[in-house]
Amino acid sequence: MTPPGVPEIEADWALFLDLDGTLLELAPTPDAVIVPADLPSVLACLSGGLGGALAIVTGRARETADQLLAPFLPTGGFGHGAELRDAVGAAVGDDTVPAPPSAWCDTLTRFAATRDGLLLERKPHGIALHYRAVPTQGEAVRAAMQALVLQAPNDFVLLPAHMAFEIRPRAATKARPVTALMAAPPFLGRRPVFVGDDVTDEDGMAAARDLGGLGLHVGRDFTGGPPQVRAWLARAARRLTQEQPLAQS
Ligand SMILES: [Mg+2]
């Protein structure tokens, strides 16, 4: 069942979907997420039903998102929008966003090495430090990372995530892929709908609303969590491809 207040997906929508916590249940570590076997084919099918206007917008690196969703190769924004890929698989303006200095990564690697249970995740445009295994270390992680960001506060921000903090380029937000992709086919002229679960998704939701669309929040709108989001997508994939049989290739 679609939850109250969530409309069924329409053929003229452009969908922007967060990955972790939205399509996938959160796991103790980022590597431990489980991708349901039918998710890539549901996404491919639904993308066909939407004329290709389906994007994944995630904090994950592009390579990681590709591995998780293979063989589906998503259009979208990766590294919180630091890296964009359009509907024909081309990179979009990803050279304008700086990566954190490698010295910061070295500092945080040493920091994590002195504390059990912390997990450093190096991304092309960011650094995340996960403390899910040791929640009492959250404040120490925040302080260590904030001290680095204060060395270049115009270029980088520290953002809270689920049991993690992440340093990311200030220019990289989840609004960036929404705005960039909506400017060209097959997204152009559609109604953008962004679905996410996290504080970083709020930028994407706001960008979708600014363009006349919707922002849906997993915690507030899909109380059944990622399984309910996936069922909503699967239902639309069946319905929209039945209505447009030529899109079923
Ligand atoms: Mg998420």
| Digitized pLDDT (tens) for each residue of the chain, 249 residues in all | 788 889 999 999 999 999 999 999 999 888 899 999 999 999 999 999 999 999 999 999 899 999 999 999 999 999 888 889 988 888 776 556 888 999 999 999 999 999 999 999 988 889 999 999 999 999 999 999 999 999 999 999 999 988 999 999 998 899 999 999 999 999 999 999 999 999 889 999 999 999 999 999 999 999 999 999 999 999 999 999 986 555 444
Note the CATH number of domain 13-91+172-248.
3.40.50.1000
Burial class (CB in 10 A: 0-12, 13-18, 19+), 209: middle
Neighbouring-strand partners of residue 142:
none
- Residue 158 has a CB neighbour count (10 Å cut-off) of 17
Q: Please enumerate in sequence order all residues whose Cβ is within 8 A of that of 113, keeping only pairs 6 or more positions apart, or say none.
A: none
Packing angle of the helix pair 225-243, 39-49 (nearest 10 deg)? 40
In terms of C-beta density within 10 A (0-12 exposed, 13-18 middle, 19 or more buried), how is residue 246 classed? exposed
Q: Which residues contact 234 (CB under 8 A, 6 or more apart)?
A: 38, 42
DSSP labels for 170-213?
Answer: TT--THHHHHHHTTSTTTTTSEEEEEE-STTHHHHHHHHHHTT-
First to last CA, the chain: 28
Residue in the structure block whose two tokens are 């990566």: 99
Looking at this protein, which amino acid is placed at residue 193?
V
Please state the domain extents for the chain: 13-91+172-248, 102-169
Distance from residue 243's CA to the centre of ligand 1 (Å): 31
* Nearest CA-CA partner of 80 in 189, 191, 204, 215: 204
| 187, HSE (Cβ side, Cα atoms, 13 Å) | 25
Domain covering 102-169: architecture = 2-Layer Sandwich (3.30)
Tokens of 156: 């980088």
pTM for the whole structure? 0.84
CA–CA dist 112, 108 (Å, integer): 6
What local confidence, expressed as pLDDT, does residue 247 receive?
47
- Residue 192: the pLDDT is 98
Q: Considering the candidates 18, 20, 198, 203, report the single residue annotated as catalytic.
A: 18
Q: Note if 18 is an active site residue.
A: yes
Query: Which pLDDT score, from 0 to 100, does residue 171 have?
Result: 86
**178 alpha carbon to ligand 1 midpoint, in Å?**
16
Distance 56 CA to ligand 1 centre (A): 11
* Furthest C-alpha separation in the chain: 58
CA 112 / ligand 1 centre spacing (Å): 23
How many CB atoms are located within 10 Å of the residue 143 CB? Answer: 10
Ligand 1 center from residue 47 Cα (angstroms)? 20
The pLDDT, as a whole number, for residue 242 is: 85
